[in-house]
A = this chain, B = another copy of it.
Amino acid sequence: MTAIDLSVDAARAALAPLRLGLSDDEAVDRYATAMWCQLVEPGDSVAGRVVATHGPVDALERLVAGAAFPDLTAREAVAAQKRWMPRLAPRGVTDAVRIAAARRVAFVTRRDAVWPTQLDDLQDHAPLCLWVRGDVSALTRLDPSIALVGARAASGYGDLVARELAAELAGGGIPVVSGGAYGIDGAAHRAALSVGGTTVALLAGGAERAYPAGHTQLIDDIADTGLVVSEVPCGSAPTKWRFLQRNRLIAALTTATVVVEAGWRSGSLNTAGHAADLGRGLGAVPGPITSPGSAGTHRLIRDYGAACITGADDVRELLGLPTAAAERSGEARTDDSTRVRDALSNRVGRDAAEIARRAGMAVDEVRTLLGLLQLEGVVHVGVDGWRTTAGRG
């Protein structure tokens, strides 16, 4: 049996470097949460359940005492004990806290006011805490926000599109969230920074270290004005499992995920899967069908119902926001269509020239809009011209 000390003094001592003004209760709760964070891998739903049921302190005491967890099956309890116990050492928390304090990484739990409650949509798989570089209050300003993700080996096209989308969205006040990797992620972060927008990097390893190392400066720049976030304690290495779980966090933290460029079997499809699973918006940017780098995004559009994203306006639509560019906006399109429809009758047919005259629009424009209205089944063309479908019979 491993002994650990969950006293107020032990908790205050361990957390001291973070210089938090905590009540006794808060100190112990937070210390126990940090301990759980040390014991479990991201997404451990069994830990999620026992901490939700008993609170971090009681759950930890039960674990240490070898007590039963009434809401676990015997099999789950045995497997969990086997997973968690080897990591049970106060040292881990002390080390993580020391690194965090040195690197100005904040430790945020579900009890903090800045906790991003959208993560609770992950239910038992939600993180128990976050380690955050930057102004933690920005955590509360991620609704709406957009995840822009994609291949590390981005093409020039993918890089350009990621930059354009990120600059326009971040410039318009929408935080751009990504994974800090090479390729699409880096392009999105950089473009958001370049326009003075907010950008958030979610890392698979500890928040104090840049991964990849080549992005050390970029990650520092992100922390200066935005956020660098991880759910694993400072000092943790990024593992394959943690990358996959990090993807679920990107999806959960944001309003929608857009895959900018991805090969046929890209890891970004994993993030897309989480977004769909969580009922978040999902979009993908098309590209040349001759480019293997767009095979994955086309797959998402074709087979998984991802919205076809052709510009920042489409992303705004995915986020449920009004679109920006007036001449391309849904409203403008609707207005033009409405003018055309107003110029139509359901009793007599009218030709495009007459409709154009009545609507005060160019004939070519009217002809296109009539085609689109026809696609919608709203208008109908006969030899005597166009009329609204109501009078088709």
Interface residues of A (CB under 8 A from B): 40-47, 79, 83, 125, 157, 160-161, 244, 265-267, 269-270, 272-274, 276-277, 285-290, 294-295, 298, 301-302, 304, 307-311, 314, 364-365, 367-368, 371-372, 374-377, 381-384
Pairwise interchain contact A298-B273, C-beta atoms closer than 8 A = no
Within 8 Å CB of A286, what residues of B?
286-287, 289, 294, 298, 301, 308
Pairwise interchain contact B44-A375, C-beta atoms closer than 8 A = no
Within 8 Å CB of A269, what residues of B?
368, 371-372, 375
Pairwise interchain contact A289-B273, C-beta atoms closer than 8 A = no
A321 to chain B, nearest CB (A): 17
Pairwise interchain contact B265-A365, C-beta atoms closer than 8 A = yes
Pairwise interchain contact A375-B272, C-beta atoms closer than 8 A = yes
A338 to chain B, nearest CB (A): 16
Nearest to A380 among chain B residues (CB) is B277
Within 8 Å CB of A383, what residues of B?
40-47, 83
Within 8 Å CB of A270, what residues of B?
367, 371, 374
Nearest to A46 among chain B residues (CB) is B383
Pairwise interchain contact A287-B289, C-beta atoms closer than 8 A = yes
Pairwise interchain contact B314-A302, C-beta atoms closer than 8 A = yes
A286 to chain B, nearest CB (A): 3
Within 8 Å CB of A304, what residues of B?
372, 375-376
- Can you name 15 A-B pairs with beta carbons within 8 Å? A43-B382, A43-B383, A46-B383, A161-B290, A244-B381, A267-B367, A269-B372, A273-B371, A273-B375, A286-B287, A301-B301, A302-B307, A304-B372, A304-B375, A308-B308
CA distance A217 to B288 in the complex (A): 31
Within 8 Å CB of A302, what residues of B?
307-308, 310, 314
Nearest to A161 among chain B residues (CB) is B289
A309 to chain B, nearest CB (A): 8
Nearest to A383 among chain B residues (CB) is B44
CA distance A41 to B372 in the complex (A): 23
Among A41, A160, A265, the one with the most B-chain Cβ atoms within 10 Å of its Cβ is A265
- Option from B308, B372, B384 in Cβ contact (under 8 Å) with A298: B308
CA distance A310 to B298 in the complex (A): 7
- Option from B47, B288, B309, B384 in Cβ contact (under 8 Å) with A287: B288
CA distance A364 to B372 in the complex (A): 43
A259 to chain B, nearest CB (A): 11
CA distance A311 to B45 in the complex (A): 41
A218 to chain B, nearest CB (A): 25
Within 8 Å CB of A381, what residues of B?
43, 244
Within 8 Å CB of A314, what residues of B?
302
4 other A-B residue contacts (CB within 8 Å) besides A276-B377, A308-B308 = A40-B383, A46-B382, A160-B290, A244-B381
**Top 5 nearest A-B pairs by Cβ distance?**
A286-B286, A44-B383, A265-B368, A273-B374, A302-B308
